[in-house]
Amino acid sequence: MLELLRYFGLPTVSASTQGPAIDHIIALIHWLMLILFVGWGVFFIYTLIRFRESNNPKADHEGVKSHFSSYLEVAVAVFEVVLLIGFAFPIWASRVNDIPKGPEAVQIRVVAQQFAWNIHYPGSDGVFGKTSIDLVDEVENPIGLDRSDEFAKDDVFTVNQLHIPVNTAINISLSSKDVIHSFTLPELRVKQDAVPGMEIPVWFEATMTTEEFLQTTDGSAREGMGFEIACAQLCGLGHYRMKGFLTIHDDEGYAAWHEEQQEYLAEEEDDDWGDDEDW
């Protein structure tokens, strides 16, 4: 089934630790759907042919006497209970409850806005600096970071460029400055609405670097194009172009990227470091 669904659109790559479980439950449900639809369909077409007026001019008042259909209904109910308890509840519980808060996880803030993703890293101290809406400057400081705060001095932010290490738990604290957006990493099976006024945790662990991923795209229409951040919730006239980029590094690559960011920060203390023009 998974192979079939991949043929019909499901991305072949499922590049996070959660991804395969989500694909698995999608496949299981599609099994149920397929069996029911084929079963109904065969019965439907057979009865239409067999009981057409010219073949069966006199209808039978009673029709079907057996109660086979009750077994079908019970079977569907049982299958659904198994789906719920065996798969849906555990996956959701892990998504909500297993949020990695410790130092072994990479903590990132993502602040969505019309029509960009602001990515905020806490820097080497591991603590996010203060932000304030009064400091927001759409060009220089879209997240309103307060540089006078001690913890903010080494903070780094980028626009539409999310860099993460592979095989490491990532915990994103997701929020929005203006309207509702939805943070989506299709190849990682990650999606979460960004709701203004709320900080919602999103966690995942990537299992493939961008470099490895690009090798899988050879020969397809998306050859050479890496992972993306998509917006799934209508957020205004620029919704369609609210695209970000996700780069998954190996550990050395990630460390090197971070170092580079800190150098930019030191060099261009009051310039537009980290802006996407640098990319």
Partner 1 sequence: MYTVHHKESFWAKYIFSTDHKIIGLQYGITSLVWLLFGFTLMMIMRYQLAYPESPVPFIGGLLGDGGILPSEMYNSLGVMHGTIMIFLGVVPLAFGAFGNYFLPLQIGAIDMAFPKLNASSYWMYFVGSVIMVIGFFVPGGAANSGWTSYPPLANIATMGQTVWLFGMVMLITSSLLGSINILVTVIQLRTDGMTWLKLPIFVWGQFITAFLLILAFPPLEAAGVLQLMDRLAGTSFFMPSGLVVSGEVMTNAGGGSPLLWQHLFWFLAHPEVYVLILPAFGIVTEVMANNIRKPIWGYKALVYSMIFLGFMSFIVWAHHMYLTGMGTTIGAFFQTTTMIISIPSVVILTALLISLWGGSIRFNTPMLFALGFLPMFGIGGLTGLPLGLAASDIHLHDTYYVIGHFHYVVAPGTIFALFAGIYYWFPKMTGKRTNETLGKLHFFFSFIFMNGVFMPMFVQGLAGVSRRLWDGGEVYAHAADYLYLNEVMSVSAWLLGLAQIFFIVNMIISLKGEKTGEVNPWNATTLDWTDTTSPPLGHGNFEKIPVVHRGPYEYSVPGSKVDFIPQSEKG
Helix ranges (H only) for 145-241 are: 210-216
Please state the closest distance from residue 68 (CB atom) to partner 1, in A. 9
State the Cα–Cα distance between residues 22 and 190, nearest whole angstrom.
10
Which H or E run includes 71? helix 68-82
State the Cα–Cα distance between residues 188 and 79, nearest whole angstrom.
27
Site for partner 1 in 246-275 (CB under 8 A): none
Site for partner 1 in 169-188 (CB under 8 A): 177-180, 182, 184, 186-187
Nearer to partner 1, 22 or 261 (CB): 22
Binder among 138, 267, 269, 277 for partner 1 (CB under 8 A): 138
Task: Please tell me the count of residues contacting partner 1 according to CB under 8 A.
Answer: 97
With CA atoms as reference, report the closest residue to 177 among 157, 194, 153: 194
Part in contact with partner 1 (CB under 8 A); list of ranges 164-172, 189-197, 253-261, 266-274: 189-197
- Which string of x and - marks every residue 203-232 that binds partner 1 (by CB under 8 A)? -----------------xxx--xx-x-xxx
Site for partner 1 in 58-97 (CB under 8 A): 58-64, 69, 72-73, 76-77, 80-81, 83-84, 87-89, 91-93, 95-97
Site for partner 1 in 101-120 (CB under 8 A): 113-114
Part in contact with partner 1 (CB under 8 A); list of ranges 32-40, 147-155, 249-257, 261-269: 32-40
State the Cα–Cα distance between residues 165 and 171, nearest whole angstrom.
12
43: left (phi over 0), alpha (psi -120 to 50) or beta: alpha
Strand, helix or coil for residue 206 = strand
- For the chain, what is the largest distance between any 2 Cα atoms, rounded to a whole number of angstroms? 91
Helix ranges (H only) for 83-234 are: 89-97, 210-216
Please state the closest distance from residue 18 (CB atom) to partner 1, in A. 8
